[in-house]
Copies of this chain bind each other. A is one copy, B any other.
Amino acid sequence: MKKGMIKVSVLYPNNEGNRFDMDYYCSKHVELVTRLLGDALKGATIESGLAGGASTSPAPFVAMANMYFDTVESFQQSFGPNTDEIMGDLPNFTDITPTIQISEVMI
């Protein structure tokens, strides 16, 4: 993705005892979000946490998702009206409250 684009990161903290269904997340949740956001979504990635900085330490996040948009406005206009439907799908795969970050792509 190129400089100046907007990246929205959804980070799921890796707390002991929480549940996270990676299969559901990578198939049904991705399908839902992709369909609802439509053309505003310029790309997306999902990662599964393996470890922390030392390979023996636990991953700070069980999963990380990143969505790319051309502008903050196109994120807000596409996500805003669909927030309830997207957030309403969370209990289907996790009981974690994600950390959300809006960033500008520098490199």
A interface vs B, CB < 8 Å? 1, 6-7, 9, 11, 22, 26, 30, 44-53, 55, 59-61, 64, 72, 76, 99-107
Contacts and interface: CB of A to CB of B under 8 A. Distances in A.
B46 A106 contact: yes
A6 B72 CA distance: 28
Given A22-B106, A46-B107, A107-B46, A52 B101 contact: yes
A27 B75 CA distance: 28
B99 A64 contact: no
Contacts of A52: 100-102
Nearest to A30: B107
Given A30-B107, A64-B103, 9 more contacts: A44-B107, A45-B105, A46-B107, A50-B104, A52-B100, A53-B100, A53-B101, A61-B101, A61-B103
